[in-house]
Amino acid sequence: MLVAGIDVSADRGIVFLGQGKEVLAKKVIDPYSSSEKLLPLFDALLKERELEPENLEGIIVSLGPGSFTGLRIGVSLAKGLAFVLKVPLVGAPAFDSWVFSSSAQGILCAVHRGHSSKFYAAFYRKDREMTTRLTDYLFLPLDKIIKMSKEFSPEKARFLISYESGLNKIDSVSPFAERIIPEQALLEFGIQRLAKGQSEDISSLSPLYVAPLRVGPVK
């Protein structure tokens, strides 16, 4: 199954093509430029692979949490493509896909950088039979997230962070921090749902907004 994936939950957005569990090609979107570059990069990605939009069999999009503008644009494009192409659409909370793709067990905390010196995070418990989110999606200073992780003592939380996040402070607290490749995690999560025949209602799908809207110029 050939799918397109869109993840603009972090500063650097990603649009990619995937098949099975393999990311075939991707384009990285510069920070604060989703509104200008997402669609042109998507078109370029298809042309480089000599594909047409009609070749796609599904769309997978990250719902966030993350950038308000980026998520709105990314989800709107995904919904538009699914509607026009008449293909199934899967929307995935970013952290749910990270936890799904990780082989780690126990207490997991997915975290990535937000704005205003705060971070998005969520705590999960994962075992072989079930994954349960233990908290709301959070928007907090990193020190508070680390403090929350210690409340699970004597269990130690394993942090899941983006491979390019640069969160060295977490490495010093948890030597078991695992770096996730967001597009790979999103693909695996989405393909699994598509294989089960699960998809979203296009009319009701919406981004996962967690942080208050940041006032400033929209780019």
The answer to whether residue 208 is domain-embedded is no
Cα R_g (the chain), whole angstroms: 17
The answer to whether residue 166 is domain-embedded is yes
The answer to whether residue 142 is domain-embedded is yes
The answer to whether residue 156 is domain-embedded is yes
Same domain, 50 and 86: yes
Is 183:16 a contact under the CB 8 Å cutoff?
A: yes
Same domain, 74 and 22: yes
Same domain, 88 and 102: no
Q: What is the pLDDT of residues 84-116, one digit of tens each?
A: 999 999 999 999 999 999 999 999 999 988 888
CATH number (domain holding residue 109):
3.30.420.200
Same domain, 126 and 189: no
Same domain, 65 and 21: yes
Name the residue among 85, 127, 100 with its Cα closest to residue 187: 100
Residue whose entry in the numeric block shows the structure tokens 């799918």: 3
Is the bond preceding 65 in cis, omega lying within 30 degrees of 0? yes
Name the residue among 127, 91, 100 with its Cα closest to residue 8: 91
Give the domain range for residue 23: 2-94+182-195
Q: What is the pLDDT of residues 151-209, one digit of tens each?
A: 998 998 999 988 665 565 565 555 567 889 999 999 999 999 999 999 999 999 999 98
Q: What is the pLDDT of residues 110-151, one digit of tens each?
A: 998 888 889 999 999 999 889 999 999 999 998 999 999 999
Same domain, 22 and 90: yes
Same domain, 43 and 6: yes
Residue 70: predicted pLDDT: 86
Is the bond preceding 154 in cis, omega lying within 30 degrees of 0? yes
Cβ neighbours for 159, distance < 8 A, ≥ 6 positions apart: 108, 109, 110, 111, 149, 167, 170, 173, 174, 176, 177, 178
Same domain, 9 and 85: yes
Same domain, 89 and 109: no
3-state secondary structure of 122: strand
Write down the pTM of the prediction.
Answer: 0.90
The answer to whether residue 212 is domain-embedded is no
Same domain, 90 and 191: yes
Say if residue 54's pLDDT is above 70.
yes
* Domains contained in the chain, number: 2
Q: Stretch 7-17: mean pLDDT, rounded? A: 89
